[in-house]
């Protein structure tokens, strides 16, 4: 069985949420703990490195300082990953509903092709404007081949380290881990994401997550 290390960047300020969203209660557990537990229970996960937040718990868990931006936090955590672990998954701390099936699907695709991430189709009409709102429309972007990225995003540890070393833009401009591999000219595979693998960004997202968990528990009890 291939082993996996998981990086959880958790140094964000939750400015859009209004308070620390990772501490928000989600049906009896914090958002952060639910995200951690999704990986801690897996036999193939040998190490979990949290960037920007102190954690206590199993021997799998380790904390490192957070960086000035998300990508810098990921890099600091990446250097703390056991060199004997070939594969690394980066997962948003604010995605507490990630399923085991989605992790399995993404990891399997990564081991076959080198790197993979879940994504969902973009259903909204996307306009490109000439500046911040209010502004004029420049064009409508065809959405047939547009995908909204999710996590976990999985790649070889060595490939991610090399991609960081060769990154042609400042790290604060890197908003997605697979973006680093794109810059390095490495192929990235997309797999079917999950609409319920939502990211808690605003309070309404927490309400949706609570609804899903409640319905899921009720369904499993029937």
For every one of its 222 residues, what pLDDT tens digit does the chain have, with 9 covering 90 and above?
799 999 999 986 655 555 589 999 999 999 999 999 999 999 999 999 999 998 876 789 999 999 999 999 999 999 999 999 999 999 999 999 999 999 999 999 999 999 999 999 999 999 999 999 999 999 999 999 999 999 999 999 999 999 999 999 999 999 999 999 999 999 999 999 999 999 999 999 999 999 999 987 656 653
Q: Which residues pair with 137 in a beta bridge?
A: 129
Whole-number Å distance between alpha carbons of 64 and 46: 17
pLDDT at 222: 37
Which of 28, 22, 48 shows the shortest CA–CA distance to 37?
48
Query: Quick check: bond before 30 cis, omega within 30?
Result: no
Give residue limits of the domains in the chain: 4-119+147-221
The residues, any chain, with a CB within 8 Å of residue 105's CB and separated by 6 or more, are 118, 191, 192
CA dihedral (210, 9, 191, 83) in degrees, to 10, reads: -140
CATH of 4-119+147-221, picked from 3.90.550.10, 3.90.245.10, 3.40.50.300, 3.40.50.720, is 3.90.550.10
Which of 169, 195, 193, 170 shows the shortest CA–CA distance to 183?
169
> Is-contact 91 22, C-beta < 8 A?
no
pLDDT at 219: 61
Q: Is this structure's pTM higher than 0.95?
A: no
């Amino acid at each position: 069985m291939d082993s996996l290390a998981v990086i959880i960047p958790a140094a964000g300020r939750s400015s859009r949420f209004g308070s620390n969203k990772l501490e928000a209660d989600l049906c009896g557990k914090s958002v952060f703990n639910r995200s951690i537990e999704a990986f801690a229970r897996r036999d193939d996960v040998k190490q979990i490195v949290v960037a920007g937040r102190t954690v206590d718990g199993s021997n799998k868990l380790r904390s490192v300082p957070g960086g000035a931006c998300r990508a810098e936090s990921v890099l600091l955590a990446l250097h703390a990953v056991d060199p004997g672990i070939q594969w690394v998954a980066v997962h948003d701390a604010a995605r507490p509903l990630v399923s085991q099936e989605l992790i399995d699907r993404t990891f399997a695709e990564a081991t076959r092709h080198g790197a993979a991430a879940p994504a969902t189709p973009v259903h909204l009409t996307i306009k490109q404007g000439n500046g911040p709102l209010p502004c004029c429309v420049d064009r409508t972007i065809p959405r047939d081949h547009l995908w909204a990225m999710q996590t976990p995003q999985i790649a070889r540890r060595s490939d991610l380290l090399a991609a960081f070393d060769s990154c042609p833009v400042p790290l604060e401009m890197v908003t997605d881990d697979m973006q680093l591999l794109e810059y390095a000219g490495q192929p990235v595979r997309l797999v079917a994401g999950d609409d319920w693998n939502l990211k808690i960004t605003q309070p309404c997202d927490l309400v949706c997550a609570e609804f899903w968990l409640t319905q899921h528990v009720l369904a499993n009890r029937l």
